[in-house]
Each structure stands twice: as C-alpha cells, then as structure tokens.
Chain A
C-alpha cells in the first residue's frame, strides 16, 4: 500500500489526542488511595459542644457523608447552600471542621444555616491528615461497613451530586 506516508500523520493525531485529553484533566485532583478502604476511625469533640464527642464507631451500619470544611475556606461557602439543600432531602451529612477557630466555624453555621447533623471539630488537622485531606472542601461517602466509597475533591456541584453521590447513596442504602 502507498498509504505508508500517512503513518507520521496518524501518530501525530494520536499525540494530539493525548495532549488534548491532558488539557481537560485537573492536576489538582489527586485520586485518593483510601477509596475502597476502611474510613480512618476517630473520636472528636462536637463543634459547639465540646463536652460531647462524635465517633466513627457510632456510624457503623449507616451510610453517611463526611464533609470537611472550614470558615476560612472560600470554596466551602460556594457549596454551602447546596449542602443546606441536601439536608432538607434527608441526606446524612456530617461535618468535620478542619483547622478552624471554633467560634468562627459556629458563626458561619449561624449565618448560612447548618447543613450538618453533627460537626466534629478537628482543630489541629490530625483527622484531616488521616483522611488525606489536602484542600477543603472534600467530601467522603462512607458505607454501612465503614468503607470509603467515594471522595469528592473540591466543592460538591449540583452535577456531582446528581450523577455520582445520589446514585451511590441509593445503591448503598439498598
């Protein structure tokens, strides 16, 4: 065949394909090695009521979401209204206040509404390290056996809620 001269052109387009795909990848999105592994156990004081504690052991047998956030985090404000809406739809959302001043975090909940059933207070960020948090907000979906099934890096969007989180919750609850 005389089509051999096309080989470099084909190779060129394959290269363009790979580079083009690269343009649409987010290098800030580091896949978590914790997916499919047990959620790290922790016990932490409840935000606003340090005499009580929240423990992952209490969540055994339940499907739940852990949303890490902070009052100093701008992207968290962005997703906050959506979280408030989620609570109205009976989505079991728990918060983890990451490296925050307790009063600042409480002020945010006062002003913007509290979407969390309980917020645990991770003042020094130790729990965050165990969960591999590197930029709040990050949200984990944890199943009945305590296994992390999904991690949303960055704010939850209406799309990720509709296409990923809600179908997963439905599947896990069944």
Chain B
C-alpha cells in the first residue's frame, strides 16, 4: 500500500514538473526552423532578463522575456546577425542586458580595475621586499 502511494506521489511530481515547463513558455511563438531556435537559444543565454535580473532571457518566464524572445526570433528570421540582435536590445535597454559587458569608457574600470589592483599589489610587494633586504643588509653589517 505504502509503496503504491509513493509511486503515485512520484508520478504526480513528475507530471507537475513537466506541466510547469509547458506553461512557462506558453507565450513563446516557436519558430519552425530549428536553426532559428538554436541561434535564439545561444543568444538568449548571453542576455539578461530585465524583470528578474539575475536570470538569462533563455530561462525566464516573465512576460517581457517571452516578448523579447519572440522579438529576437523575428529579427533572426529577417536575417539579422547576432551582433545586430544584441545591438537592437542594447539600444533599448542599455549595456546592462548583456552578461558580457562591452569594453567602453564606462566599463573600463570594470575590465581593467583588477589588473590595476594587481600592478599596485606587485609594486607594493617589490617596495616592501627591497626595504626588507636593505634592513637585513644593514643588520648584517652591524
């Protein structure tokens, strides 16, 4: 009896997991061309959903994300390149939509900051080591 109930619960969970997936992308107008879907999938994993900001456009079921996926499908179907699609979204929502921020004046610190810190660290290290060597040399003399 108990085993049967467990099986039933497992089955119910299994089914509900799938039904969730079908509802979450209900508004997506899937393209007939698998190539378009493949490109959309690749592109949308690199783009941010603006409603639920830490998920990608690919796995968000926010209405805006669905609209944007449909929009990207249309753009791909009209022959736009991946760069043009990203540019289309950046023009509307800003660099924030891309998970890989472009290198420009406002993101320079983000890109080069770590290297600047590394250089400062190295300079500090060299200065400290040199000083210590001098102190040691002085001690040895005395």
Contacts and interface: CB of A to CB of B under 8 A. Distances in A.
A81 interface: no
B96 A30 contact: yes
Contacts of A28: 53
A30 B92 contact: no
Nearest to B93: A132
B76 to A, nearest CB: 16
Interface residues of B, number: 15
A124 B74 CA distance: 14
A99 to B, nearest CB: 7
Given A30-B96, A33-B92, A134 B67 contact: no
Nearest to A31: B94
B51 A131 contact: no
A30 B95 CA distance: 10
Interface in A77-98: none
- The CB with the most chain A CB atoms within 10 A, among B63, B67, B71, is that of B67
A31 B97 CA distance: 11
A33 B94 contact: yes
A30 B53 CA distance: 10
Contacts of B51: 134-135
A125 B91 contact: no
B63 A130 contact: no
B86 interface: no
A99 B62 CA distance: 13
B64 interface: yes
B50 A134 contact: yes
B26 interface: no
B90 interface: yes
A129 B53 contact: no
A55 interface: no
Interface of A: 27-28, 30-34, 99, 124-125, 129-132, 134-135
Given A129-B92, A135-B50, 17 more contacts: A27-B53, A30-B94, A31-B94, A32-B93, A33-B91, A33-B92, A124-B67, A125-B67, A129-B67, A130-B92, A131-B92, A132-B92, A132-B93, A132-B94, A134-B50, A134-B93, A135-B64
